Structure 1
Amino acid sequence: MLIRKEHTENGGLLGIWKMEEDREELLQLFPFHLRSEAITYLHDIRSESRSIEWLSTRVMLMELLGKEQIILNREDGSPYLVDGKTNISISHTKDYATILLHESYAVGIDIETRSERVIKISAKFISDEEYIDPEQKIVHQLLHWSAKESLFKLMNEQGIDFRQHLYIHPFTPASKGIMKATETKTKENRSFCLHYEVHPDYVLTWTVGNLSK
């Protein structure tokens, strides 16, 4: 079910879908003439959860745009729309899927379930120079991870090391806000602004490619 449709202040279109439907219910939401093609594609996806993610994002896209659109994937796995006119970023987590669209700029979005598991892997993506609020350790680490996922999608560069190449400037998490980041993977060392939100079930981050150098 589409639980959020929002035009962002930087010209994007953001959607969040709560994945409550099963596979058959989602197929019924597909246009009739596209169902057989969807069923053929899903035949090769053994995971039920992966099938639901695939269907949910495509149904959500049609509801966001009010028309049929086809999502394909490049060789590196990144999504694109067949019409070539709109940039898209997609993310999934437990029970939720999200999409960010923009007609002019590259986009990156990420949604992550709130979980303590992030503690075990935090050293792999947070550098010693990055600040983590000890009073909000888990959510702050999760926001770092999510923000770097969003940046990775936006930049679309090969060989990015989250710990080495992506730096999140110090901030203290609130229920929502803006964080700043810098990448050192390219010679431009570009700076970014990312929006973030903290919800009871998940954190959400997104960025649009109106970049400053």
Structure 2
Amino acid sequence: MPLHSVQHISPTAVLGLWHLTETPADLWAGLPHPEAYQPLLPATADATRQAQWLAGRRLIHRLFEEAATPPPAQATVRNDATGRPWLAGAAPGTVVSLSHSGAWVAAVLAQGGRAGVDVEMIRDKARRLAGKFLAPAEWADAQAATHADPDAGSTHYTLLWSAKESLYKLAAQRGIIFRQQLLLHSFSPRESGEIPATLVLSGAETRHSICYTQPAPGYVLTYCHEPAG
């Protein structure tokens, strides 16, 4: 079943997971008003990228069925100049965040506030690049955690990268330096839980909590939603 799960993560936000098994043609067939999406599909996308892109839009429209306010008939998922998704034709304050990796697509749909979601295939790349996105204290914590459980090395570093991606999407600003402005604090790694974090913007620090889990073997998922007010 392509729609894997829908979860209410706050009174005003829903998280959805899509297990991608369809071809682009299959996904086009179930997409509302495909004529609006035809010119938006990235021209350079191969079949895999097309399927991920289309599944993300299918998932967002499915999440509207769980939201308190139904969408207008012609609501469409678009991307702004920075690549961030937004909902044209939806009610003011509607927030969306999207992510895809391999066979999984994740999305958060919220009425107000801020949201971020990220799904990642577990690879060793995050460990190799740790010095570029982890602050010294974070790197020390990661080394200690993976020393205690060497088999979890790639999973742990991928989780840290994903958590910073979700926080970056929540911040919704360009030019953020991951090592300096997206800071993760110590936590005890489990199959699922929360990572305390600090966001540093314009000299001000705010505290946040990034939820994490493993939706399937070989993947990690992180997300956060903060209601308005």
The residue number in structure 2 matching 1:70 is 76
The residue number in structure 2 matching 1:164 is 180
The residue number in structure 1 matching 2:225 is 208
TM-score of the superposition, structure 2-length normalised? Answer: 0.84
Q: Gaps (5+ residues) in structure 2?
A: 66-70
Distance in 2, matches of 1:73 and 1:46, equals 15
Distance in 2, matches of 1:192 and 1:64, equals 24
Q: Is the 8 A contact 1:45 1:51 kept in 2?
A: no
Q: Is the 8 A contact 2:12 2:227 kept in 1?
A: no
Distance in 1, matches of 2:57 and 2:228, equals 28
SS of 1:8's equivalent in the other structure is strand
Alignment of 1:2-13 (within 5 A): 2-9=3-10, 11-13=12-14
Alignment of 1:40-55 (within 5 A): 40-42=39-41, 44-55=43-54
The residue number in structure 2 matching 1:196 is 212
Please say if 1:121 is aligned against 2:120: no
The residue number in structure 2 matching 1:154 is 170
Q: Which runs of 4+ in 1 moved over 4 A?
A: none
Aligned CA distance change for structure 1 residues 59 and 189 (closer, same or farther; 3 Å): same
SS of 1:101's equivalent in the other structure is strand
SS of 2:195's equivalent in the other structure is strand
Q: Gaps (5+ residues) in structure 1?
A: none
Q: Is the 8 A contact 1:16 1:96 kept in 2?
A: yes
Q: Is the 8 A contact 1:108 1:208 kept in 2?
A: yes
SS of 2:129's equivalent in the other structure is helix
The residue number in structure 2 matching 1:20 is 21
The residue number in structure 2 matching 1:29 is 30
Distance in 2, matches of 1:171 and 1:20, equals 34
The residue number in structure 1 matching 2:37 is 38
RMSD (Å) for aligned C-alpha atoms = 2.0
Q: Is the 8 A contact 2:60 2:109 kept in 1?
A: no
SS of 2:201's equivalent in the other structure is coil
Please say if 1:59 is aligned against 2:58: yes
- Taking every aligned residue pair, what percent have the same amino acid on both sides? 28
Q: Is the 8 A contact 2:106 2:118 kept in 1?
A: yes
The residue number in structure 2 matching 1:91 is 99
**CA positional deviation for 1:61:** 1.4
Please say if 1:101 is aligned against 2:109: yes
Question: For structure 1, which segment, 142-151 or 8-17, has the greater mean C-alpha deviation from structure 2 after superposition?
Answer: 8-17
Distance in 2, matches of 1:64 and 1:37, equals 19
Please say if 1:142 is aligned against 2:143: no
| Count of aligned pairs between the two proteins | 210
Distance in 1, matches of 2:107 and 2:176, equals 22
